Every structure is written in structure tokens, then in C-alpha cells.
Amino acid sequence: MTLFIGIISMNAQTKEELEAQKAEKQAEADAATKEVEAIQAQIDALPGWHLSAFGTIGGSFSSFNNWYAQGSPNNDAGSIGFTVNANANLIQPKFFWRNALTTNLNWVKLDDRDDPTDEAGFVPTTDVFNISSLYGRNISKTWAVSALMEYRTTLLDNFNNPGYLDLGVGMTWTPITDLVVVIHPLNYNFVFADDDLIFESSLGAKIMVDYNKKIGDLNIKSNLSAFQSYESSDLSNWTWTNSLGYTIWKGIGIGFDFGLRSNKQEALNFALAQDPPTATGFDDVDNKLQSFYTAGISYKF
């Protein structure tokens, strides 16, 4: 019995020693990770061009033959989509020039081979395109006088109908390397559309918050772009997009993208296109929150 208790005690002590070694190694690894992130932050702050890009690819395909349990026993179905987040930033002691591209495109198809009238090819669903260019002259370590150009539209369907072009000036705040906050009280929102009775350009204020961060193998990008019209709140809009990419092996990993948008002009345009129309004007339109998400394989360029 004494020998048995001694063996148990020795095993417990060995486990405790291993746990202590594990904790020590984990602390060393955490410290090394923080050092790497600190060095990367110094690299990101160095003068010159800083380029980065990552994206998400998602897709699925299926084919059924004589599968009588479902409504369309003979069909081919599939979906494919991808997102790209790219940045090209020129950082200098006295000024900066930040350029960003975000696009999210997705297609789906359901080809019922027994129905010759249905759509056999891929049809675009998610369709997001955004490009921006921000120039600033530093007046302090964290503040700059700046000018912004941002363009938003769709590429696959209804290109530039509507399209939004923001041009404005104001201030930019960069409290940390990875965060950029644009505050432009003087901004003109040009709206391009076939129906100029619904879509109107106006003068207003522009707020844009952009966050880019790499934490180990995790890439994070979040962008909020908001326009507040001085003429009418009906002409205001905002869009918030987010992208996450986690690298598992040689640049390949998993990714997730989602976005939210509120735009009363787009809601009214959609309502008036219904048969019968579900609204008569801005006063009775149901401006529902718009959203999308994409999940799939990611790749770090």
C-alpha cells in the first residue's frame, strides 16, 4: 500500500512539473508573440509604401438525377463567391496617402433540367464594390488635414445605377497605426442613377472609420462609411463591412465576411419597382436594414 501511494504521488508530482513547464513555455510564446506584433507595428509605421491584401472564396456545386424525393429530381445547382480586401498606403513623415479596395461578388444557379424556361446559368446575387483614396497632411502626431474620395456601386448588375461618389475635406485622426477615423464636415455626395426623382445628390458630413489589424494568423478589416445629408435625412446613408481571414497553412485558411447597410433612397427605389408598389414616397417606405455574409476558404496574398 505504501508503495502504491508513493507511485501515485510520484505521478502527480511529474504531472505538476509538466504543467509548470507548459505554463512557462506558454508565457515565453506569448511574450514572443507580443514582441513580433510590436516589431510589425514599427514596420507598419515606417515611411514608404505598405501593401496588403486578403480575400475569401466560397462555393458549392451539386447535381441530381432522378432524385424523386425532391420537387426538381433533375437539377444542377451551385454557388460561388469571393471577396477581396486590398490596401496600398504611402506613409511619409509629413503626409499620407491611403488607398483601399473592397469587393464582394457572388453568383448562384439552380438549373431544373425538366424546365426549359428556367435560368440555366449563374445569376449574380451579392454585388459590392467600394474604392477610396484618402490624402492627409499631418499637423500633429495623430491629426491631419485631409481630403477623401470614395466611390461605391455594383459591378455585375446595375453598374453605377445607383453609384455614389463622395468628395470632401476635413480632418483625419489616427490614434493608433491600425485605426483611421475620417471626419469631414464638408462633403458632397454625388449620386448617379437613371431615376433622378428618387436618387438625389446633396451636401453633408462624411464619417469613415477604417480598422486593419493582423494578429498572428488572423487578418481583420472593418470599415464604416456614413454620410449625413444637410438637406434631408432621407438622403443619408451608411455602410458597415467586415472581413475576417484566419490562415491555417501556407496562406490558405478560413474566411468570413458580413456587411450592413441603411439607404432610404435604395429602399424607395425597390418599393416603387414592385407590382403593386409597396410605398408612395419617403414618408411610408419601409427602410429595412440590408445585410449580407460570405463564408468559405480564405487566402492571404
- Per-residue model confidence as pLDDT tens digits over 28-39: 777 776 676 667
Query: Over 60: is that where the pLDDT of 2 sits?
Result: no
Is the domain spanning 48-300 CATH 1.10.10? The answer is no
Average pLDDT, the chain: 86
pLDDT in tens, 124-153: 887 889 999 999 999 999 999 999 999 999
**Selected residue with higher pLDDT from 157 and 299:** 157
Residues 6+ apart with CB under 8 A from 258: 241, 242, 291, 292, 293, 294
Q: Summarize the confidence of residues 102-127 as an average pLDDT.
A: 83
Domain locations in the chain as residue ranges: 1-44, 48-300
Q: Residue 197 has what pLDDT?
A: 79
Question: Is the CA virtual torsion 30, 35, 40, 45 positive or negative?
Answer: positive
Q: What is the pLDDT of residues 69-99, one digit of tens each?
A: 777 888 888 888 888 889 999 999 999 999 9
**Whether residue 164 has pLDDT greater than 90:** yes
pLDDT score of 63 more than 70: yes
**CA 23 → CA 26, 27, 32, 96, distances in Å?**
5, 6, 14, 43
265-295 tens-digit pLDDT? 999 999 998 889 999 889 999 999 999 888 8
289 DSSP assignment: P
d(CA 231, CA 40): 44
The answer to pTM > 0.75 is: yes
Each residue's pLDDT tens digit, 193-229: 987 778 999 999 999 999 998 888 888 999 999 999 9
